[in-house]
Structure 1
């Protein structure tokens, strides 16, 4: 063989297959991949996991992982290291058996003794078999490609062998070794793809998931591939991570070999590196066709044959093809070159029947790439919709590769080898893609949105993004729980659009550092980010903070995300002068320990922050007091603070009151719902409300265990000319008649600022309703919204409010009398008030006792009212007989 032919043979046999494991080990290029784990730092190396399993009981370990994940090389390293005396020297004998080679024996009975003698290695001494039989603990059996062990259609028909001298199928020998019935105490290590071969494994076998290469291992691999040029290694590694690192198969050492091989040839030629997977595989195809010296016509014929085979393997139940099947694809002229593109295995069958070899693709992505290339370069098959429908549910990358190859820039290298694709095919796909994308993006199905984004990413055409994602697209739907690949696609689309109003990642189960880093460009350009009900790793919080710093985001929702103190501190530490104006942290499992970071956030990390929601976090008094000190600093610009159920007491309110009177606080709205404020806390608040420097306009004390005695303090505050409070919610507190009447006295004061008052379930009585009516009719009240529901005063009590609504001095726009005991007897007064009022827009009448008889009058009143916009009649005693009548008035909700 001449030098050129030898080079072609080396290139074509290894470009897709990867470097042979024995070369990797012998040339000291081996990198141990990590095992699967919850976090990167929890993952031991694969070598360590194997050694640990073989050193203790039951000394049986099974490596599970996809094709090309590094299982075979790990076993090769295990055997070579033992032979060199580097490890596992407690074993005297190691038998390395590959089912790729043993497949021809399966079905031919032979004993374990014969198997050891025939396949135990050329240097196995004659007495070795006897020593193993006497002392099984001294032997280690290593099985590779266990998933290739043929156990027939009924695996249970081949029982585990228990006699090393008795002939049995190879599968029976393996089952006996695994199960302990054959050579009890022997150690076994095996590698398999995740298949039904797990039936071999005893319950005590150690299963090790092989993850392939994570980013650190990939970087090390690139350094080993470019040993004399660290700069080239770093550049190549960085390029792959940014353009291809989001694909799951990037963890495959075999794929890393392909990438490095293509990159090196391009870098040596001074050419640009591929930006997409389509370009990478186009480069592979070009390099292989040139190495095989195929002209354009033969190259297209080969691609057509590969496409036929790819379709057959996708649609059929078998992922491989026998040699005689290859003729039907037009592969006969290319059988000599098959090893460059396909895996070629001896099937072990009877050679007299002509079935000498079995052909399969090295990976699913390259298989679908050949199918896409065949579609565009060979117009003999069906149209785009027919082709996609034929492979729907089976092909994961076909539409993506079609999208990439439909773009001139992406397919340019391939045109140099195959000539131009069929123009009608390209136009047909582009028409379909635009139409399908617009239809998908106008809907709310996440899977269809993401499919479109993946194709746009592969196309790499900015003008196409702006054309397809038009004003009708519903980009604001939730994209929570997306894969790393989809993060890249979403980030690409948002970046090319120049940003979006709302990036919705609601319910992202576990946002990893890699996902957050990939999404960072989209986050940076989004005005609102929704991560509600999500889970963020600490690394993800770091990348999120980096995206927010200097980004466009003004609102971030992390509610119910279980951040915890440590992750929250990581987020705050990374924020630098971000534009956040609203931060929602409800139910994030924060405690007192987070309040220091929170205090720094509102004064320096997010200087524009106006709204902060920290409800349902157990921050307690000590934590909140620390936050209140930040509220008194000139750099703090907070205007709204939501503290629902934060374990606060009067001590917290005293600290808050001090901040309100400091002259630096800009707080306008405070929500203290369901905190144990009590009278002492109310007294402190009322004093701050009377302070000329206090800017508070809205106060919510819903269910804060207040009593009527507290109303004296509120009355005093509302009587003050300095008070600026316009909204007050005292619902679900035991104010009773005496306390409420004190409030009414303050509401009568000319200039009293209250516009919105909520007194739901406060044990109010009819005299209170009468006094409220008097306030509303007095001409001095500014009340536009009143909620007094869940106070059982009946028709007679509520009649006082109807009288007020009908009065020309009443300014009410919203009235809530839910569950006050209204019946049909009060409907006449209600309707009379609606006919007279020129201001009432919303009326809440839920959970009362009105019946069908009241409906006609209510419908007429709502319809005839010029001001009324909505009347809520839900949960009254209506039957279905009146539903049609209520439907006639669009203002009514029932």
Structure 2
């Protein structure tokens, strides 16, 4: 034997006599297996070269631990609403290449994706490219295995060596598994289909010649007990059973299917007629539901087959717009294909096709109830399908597919999960109309009124109930298809399959009414959302119009919405034609209940602004779950009373998120939060680049904890804002130590007390060419800044007598203004309006508190050019140069330009704190009681000149007092 070495790496072992690599037989076998892609049954005419139609899929680095707890259709819908331009796309041939910035070898990869998204095709393409010597030439042996085939051997025992020889007899005489110089890759496709699910607590096995059950072999392969030097690639749908194995993998990837450009490329490859291809592309883009589904390659193929020959300019008008309509077109195409394949000896093609479609539908329905997506010969036989009649069975090619296995037994499945669900619905629909049988009613639930049980309404009612029983949406698409089939326009396409029609004119309105009742009663937004899709299939849009009118009227922020109404709003936002990029919760609500109702919308956004929305620890657990499984890159939670308990809950999701920017200004955090924040900052999988922690009482102890994360080699943070965090010289020493090794470019320590020595140390680091720090901000520092909270910005204010109205009395050293019961004098100062301004013009960050009685408005204004006269333009709150808060016993109101906006759910106290951040352009109001502050509202203003605190006393006996 001889070796071929490239750059010190063993690439091939050669047989000296034959001068051919030892893997040549394996490669030849894999070429034969993967060169063609069968479309349906494995007949010669259905063989299409993989490379001729393969379109690159969008594969991205994923997050460990994400599990699909809802119908996969919802996963696809949410993906289409997120921006993927900034996500890292990974070529399937480069899965085992080290990631940028990470030098360690990737040996175990798991790739997830919904059914039909292209996982198996990616595996086949990877294998074929290796066998053709186009890619991954450093691999000597690649062994692709399918769980569908492994399931057939689950009751037998093999050693790993024996198992390999069963599937790949070409390597039987080669000593592969005991030689760690061999670069080997095991590919295991379809982990979610493993029967039974793998058990991570299986016995430990390290001998490749020792027989055991297949699941034991695989678990030990994953855990590096068997052939620890081998590479392993596993694919799976995102189901719960994969969670226990996540710790075994180095890299998590996700197949997202086709992006928009890849869809167009696929249609143009598949359809040679450019005009027809362009018409199909245009139609798919114009119909949102079809556009969403075309992220799935299998659906693109179905769409191309269904529309290829009949989408003329005339047909464009009647082209399918809903999923049910598209699947009916696909069914019609499949039936025509069946007719051409049927032997002439069959008397009635229509009856034969109807009978066989019903058998397929029965199989689909029964196996859907069991949760099985893959079937075997015994399953087909139990549902009246005779696979031995190959000449007849071959007409299922467009709907059904078979896969031969190494042991001779075939596996079967529908070409896609949605096709499976469609045929289950078709079976239930035709059973009712043709046979007067409601298969959704179990025999044990016999009614006293059997004829009533056979009504069409009962059929659809039971289907709705069945779908609502499953929180994971298992029967969601089944229900949508069943209701869609009931429309008169769709039944026309079924006329050859329906022997009778038991439709009643009133049924449609009855089921619409029933669905609306369920929407209003359902506490689950996910359940509600699918029911909205059902209404859409029935062409009823009344609930959507209701919430859209309510929203456009401006009543949303003042309303107390029910869970159903929040679900409606969520549906409206999610189904908008505009791609959701930035979501601002305050546009719709400032409450935790509203956030819970709109979590799906938050999840779909790239930027989520939840600033000042009255959020507390109560929402943090659910929000954490959303963050960990979303595409959110920027999250603003500032000015919410999260406290340490809430942030610690949030950090669980932040560890596995795609966040690049996180803002936590004024969230009432202390040093207790800093351990959790440090873990987020140093997370291996983290992407966080900007962290704003302004105005939280971390002190030096918290900074010390945070610096543990900053000094980690995994930290990617570039911008850190610690303004107003009560940091002293001691905290600066911790930061200096961390700056020696971290990636920080900008550091804001303004409004702290670093002292001369601390500031000197930091400026030295800023000038050090070895340090990455480029910008240090340390303005407005001093000893007073170590006071807790906003009080570190306290300013001393006095009222300006020259601006006081004649009816106001100033006292307490011009700290207090009172409007007495009767008018006092006739002085000519700021005639007409009972208002007064302070003497001090403010910029920078300033905080003051005011006690009030009666009815008072307080805020800031530019210096007035005139304080005399009776013009309304100088009245507090009546012009565009004043921003403030009106306070009365029962409520607060924001005032600007003569408009008062009430603030709901805020019980007024008799002391208000005001915080001005002039440079940032914010003015915040707080209710102060017993030393505690509760955020009222933050206004965003582009200040252009110094502002003066100003007060207006509307009622007699009203007063304000500057503390």
TM-score (norm 2): 0.49
SS in 2 for 1:309: helix
Q: Name stretches of at least 5 consecutive residues in structure 1 with no aligned partner.
A: 1-11, 493-501, 518-529, 542-561, 567-588, 592-616, 619-646, 648-675, 677-702, 720-727, 769-779, 791-815, 821-845, 848-894
**Cα deviation code 1:793-831 (max 9, x no counterpart):** xxxxxxxxxxxxxxxxxxxxxxx99879xxxxxxxxxxx
Deviates more, 1:57-66 or 1:468-477: 468-477
Equivalent position to 1:144, from 189, 204, 209:
189
In structure 2, C-alpha distance between the alignment counterparts of 1:436 and 1:450, rounded to whole Å: 11
In structure 2, C-alpha distance between the alignment counterparts of 1:420 and 1:34, rounded to whole Å: 47
Which residue does 1:374 correspond to in 2?
A: 427
Which residue does 1:397 correspond to in 2?
A: 477
**Cα deviation code 1:374-431 (max 9, x no counterpart):** 344332115221233234323112332234223333443333x424762426753442
In structure 2, C-alpha distance between the alignment counterparts of 1:732 and 1:403, rounded to whole Å: 75
State how 1:872-891 maps to structure 2 within 5 Å: none
1:279: how far off?
A: 0.8
Which residue does 1:172 correspond to in 2?
A: 216
- Cα distance change, pair 422–202 in 1 and its aligned pair in 2 (3 A): same
In the alignment, is residue 233 of structure 1 matched against residue 253 of structure 2?
no
State how 1:855-874 maps to structure 2 within 5 Å: none
1:244: how far off?
A: 4.3
Which residue does 2:261 correspond to in 1?
A: 216
Which residue does 2:675 correspond to in 1?
A: none
Which residue does 2:642 correspond to in 1?
A: none
- Cα distance change, pair 57–391 in 1 and its aligned pair in 2 (3 A): same
1:29: how far off?
A: 2.5
In structure 2, C-alpha distance between the alignment counterparts of 1:24 and 1:731, rounded to whole Å: 91
Task: Give the paired residue count.
Answer: 580
Which residue does 2:105 correspond to in 1?
A: 57
Q: Are the aligned partners of 2:200 and 2:245 in contact in 1 as well (CA < 8 Å)?
A: no
Q: Are the aligned partners of 2:198 and 2:215 in contact in 1 as well (CA < 8 Å)?
A: no
In structure 2, C-alpha distance between the alignment counterparts of 1:269 and 1:538, rounded to whole Å: 41
1:731: how far off?
A: 13
1:46: how far off?
A: 3.9
Equivalent position to 1:311, from 365, 375, 381:
365
Q: Are the aligned partners of 1:95 and 1:142 in contact in 2 as well (CA < 8 Å)?
A: yes
Equivalent position to 1:432, from 511, 514, 522:
511
Q: Are the aligned partners of 2:467 and 2:479 in contact in 1 as well (CA < 8 Å)?
A: no
In structure 2, C-alpha distance between the alignment counterparts of 1:331 and 1:449, rounded to whole Å: 37
In structure 1, C-alpha distance between the alignment counterparts of 2:570 and 2:262, rounded to whole Å: 18
Q: Are the aligned partners of 1:710 and 1:739 in contact in 2 as well (CA < 8 Å)?
A: no
1:278: how far off?
A: 0.5
State how 1:702-741 maps to structure 2 within 5 Å: 707-715=797-805, 735-736=814-815
Which residue does 1:457 correspond to in 2?
A: 536
Q: Are the aligned partners of 1:17 and 1:254 in contact in 2 as well (CA < 8 Å)?
A: no
SS in 1 for 2:235: strand
1:30: how far off?
A: 3.5
**Cα deviation code 1:41-66 (max 9, x no counterpart):** 22222426514159962422222222
Which residue does 2:330 correspond to in 1?
A: 284
SS in 2 for 1:52: coil
In structure 1, C-alpha distance between the alignment counterparts of 2:200 and 2:631, rounded to whole Å: 45
Which residue does 2:462 correspond to in 1?
A: 386
**Cα deviation code 1:229-254 (max 9, x no counterpart):** 1x543442332233245776543222
1:277: how far off?
A: 0.5
- Cα distance change, pair 285–485 in 1 and its aligned pair in 2 (3 A): farther
SS in 1 for 2:511: helix
Question: When you count helix as a share of all residues, which structure comes out higher?
Answer: 1
SS in 1 for 2:310: helix
In the alignment, is residue 120 of structure 1 matched against residue 151 of structure 2?
no
SS in 2 for 1:91: coil
In structure 2, C-alpha distance between the alignment counterparts of 1:456 and 1:735, rounded to whole Å: 66
**Cα deviation code 1:75-123 (max 9, x no counterpart):** 222222222222221222222333333443333333333344443364x
In structure 2, C-alpha distance between the alignment counterparts of 1:347 and 1:130, rounded to whole Å: 25
In structure 2, C-alpha distance between the alignment counterparts of 1:480 and 1:465, rounded to whole Å: 16
Which residue does 2:734 correspond to in 1?
A: none
Which residue does 2:315 correspond to in 1?
A: 271
Equivalent position to 1:72, from 110, 116, 120:
120
1:761: how far off?
A: 8.3
Equivalent position to 1:192, from 214, 236, 243:
236
- Cα distance change, pair 157–233 in 1 and its aligned pair in 2 (3 A): same
In structure 2, C-alpha distance between the alignment counterparts of 1:357 and 1:756, rounded to whole Å: 88
In structure 2, C-alpha distance between the alignment counterparts of 1:153 and 1:445, rounded to whole Å: 29
In the alignment, is residue 98 of structure 1 matched against residue 158 of structure 2?
no
- Cα distance change, pair 757–173 in 1 and its aligned pair in 2 (3 A): same
Question: When you count strand as a share of all residues, which structure comes out higher?
Answer: 2
In the alignment, is residue 34 of structure 1 matched against residue 62 of structure 2?
no
- Cα distance change, pair 705–121 in 1 and its aligned pair in 2 (3 A): same
**Cα deviation code 1:194-221 (max 9, x no counterpart):** 3425655663532222222232322332
- Cα distance change, pair 271–318 in 1 and its aligned pair in 2 (3 A): same
SS in 1 for 2:109: strand
1:485: how far off?
A: 7.5
Q: Name stretches of at least 5 consecutive residues in structure 2 with no aligned partner.
A: 1-36, 63-82, 340-347, 439-453, 579-586, 616-622, 636-658, 664-691, 695-720, 723-750, 752-779, 781-792, 839-847, 857-869, 878-884, 890-906, 912-928, 931-963
In structure 1, C-alpha distance between the alignment counterparts of 2:327 and 2:833, rounded to whole Å: 70
1:282: how far off?
A: 0.4
In structure 1, C-alpha distance between the alignment counterparts of 2:543 and 2:852, rounded to whole Å: 61
Equivalent position to 1:406, from 480, 486, 489:
486
1:447: how far off?
A: 5.6
**Cα deviation code 1:509-564 (max 9, x no counterpart):** 586999899xxxxxxxxxxxx999999999999xxxxxxxxxxxxxxxxxxxx999
In structure 1, C-alpha distance between the alignment counterparts of 2:301 and 2:500, rounded to whole Å: 29
In structure 1, C-alpha distance between the alignment counterparts of 2:246 and 2:811, rounded to whole Å: 62
SS in 2 for 1:81: helix
In structure 2, C-alpha distance between the alignment counterparts of 1:817 and 1:422, rounded to whole Å: 64
- Cα distance change, pair 244–743 in 1 and its aligned pair in 2 (3 A): same
Which residue does 2:399 correspond to in 1?
A: 341
Q: Are the aligned partners of 2:205 and 2:226 in contact in 1 as well (CA < 8 Å)?
A: yes
SS in 1 for 2:92: helix
In structure 2, C-alpha distance between the alignment counterparts of 1:788 and 1:387, rounded to whole Å: 54
Equivalent position to 2:39, from 10, 14, 17:
14
Which residue does 1:47 correspond to in 2?
A: 92
- Cα distance change, pair 21–707 in 1 and its aligned pair in 2 (3 A): farther
In structure 1, C-alpha distance between the alignment counterparts of 2:521 and 2:273, rounded to whole Å: 52
In structure 1, C-alpha distance between the alignment counterparts of 2:214 and 2:852, rounded to whole Å: 86
1:303: how far off?
A: 4.5
SS in 2 for 1:259: helix
RMSD: 6.0
Which residue does 1:699 correspond to in 2?
A: none
In structure 2, C-alpha distance between the alignment counterparts of 1:258 and 1:212, rounded to whole Å: 15
State how 1:444-843 maps to structure 2 within 5 Å: 450-459=529-538, 461=539, 464-465=540-541, 477=561, 487=573, 489=575, 507=595, 508=598, 707-715=797-805, 735-736=814-815, 752-754=831-833
In structure 1, C-alpha distance between the alignment counterparts of 2:177 and 2:256, rounded to whole Å: 34
- Cα distance change, pair 72–431 in 1 and its aligned pair in 2 (3 A): same
In the alignment, is residue 203 of structure 1 matched against residue 245 of structure 2?
no
- Cα distance change, pair 20–515 in 1 and its aligned pair in 2 (3 A): farther
Deviates more, 1:153-162 or 1:180-189: 153-162
In structure 2, C-alpha distance between the alignment counterparts of 1:387 and 1:484, rounded to whole Å: 24
Deviates more, 1:185-194 or 1:302-311: 302-311
- Cα distance change, pair 158–252 in 1 and its aligned pair in 2 (3 A): same
Equivalent position to 2:199, from 140, 150, 155:
155
SS in 2 for 1:42: coil
Which residue does 1:830 correspond to in 2?
A: none
- Cα distance change, pair 117–251 in 1 and its aligned pair in 2 (3 A): same
